[in-house]
Amino acid sequence: MIVPVNQSNIRDAAVVHSVSWQESHRSFCAAEFVALHTPERQEEYLRSKMEDGSRVFMLTDGKPVGIVSVKDSLIEDLYVLPEYQNRGYGSELLRYAVGRCGGTPSLWILENNDRARSLYLKAGFRETGNRQVITDGLDEIEFVLGVP
């Protein structure tokens, strides 16, 4: 089941975001930086996004297992708890998010995120060629649904 995140469940969404973000960034970010992404910090992050117009959704399967956010046509923050990955939850969240986009769905991924790249390519997203520098040596790459 996928539900909107609101005041009653934002803490659960923040825990999913924190745990998943830390695991996905551990191999290439400094341990001190990864440790900063606590559930408390991620709750504030999600609140800020929601105040800025993003809609955040949480997938549950007996317990919270994944989240995604959508603002206009931009999909962000698609995270699934590590122990629930490779079970189709990410694809389910992505399909749900695509259905909530106001136009052509787009998203950005870190260039070193091969798992995300695979998920999005299988779902029909294609690279646009647009890049944003994140750090020295690490860029984000834009993907859009249906671009050949």
Q: Are strands 55-60 and 106-110 parallel, antiparallel or unpaired?
A: unpaired
Q: What is the CATH number of the domain that holds 86?
A: 3.40.630.30
Counting other chains too, the contacts that 25-34 makes at CB distance below 8 Å and 24 or more residues apart are: 28/112, 28/138
Owning domain of residue 23: 2-145
Instruction: Look up the pTM and report it.
Output: 0.93
Report d(CA 97, CA 73) in Å as an integer: 9
Asked if 103 and 71 count as a contact pair (C-beta separation under 8 A), the reply is no
Provide the domain count of the chain.
1
Regions of the chain where pLDDT drops below 70: 147-148
Supply 123's token pair: 């779902």
Backbone phi and psi for residue 5, each to the nearest 5 degrees, phi listed first: -85, 135
H or E segment and range at residue 74: strand 74-80
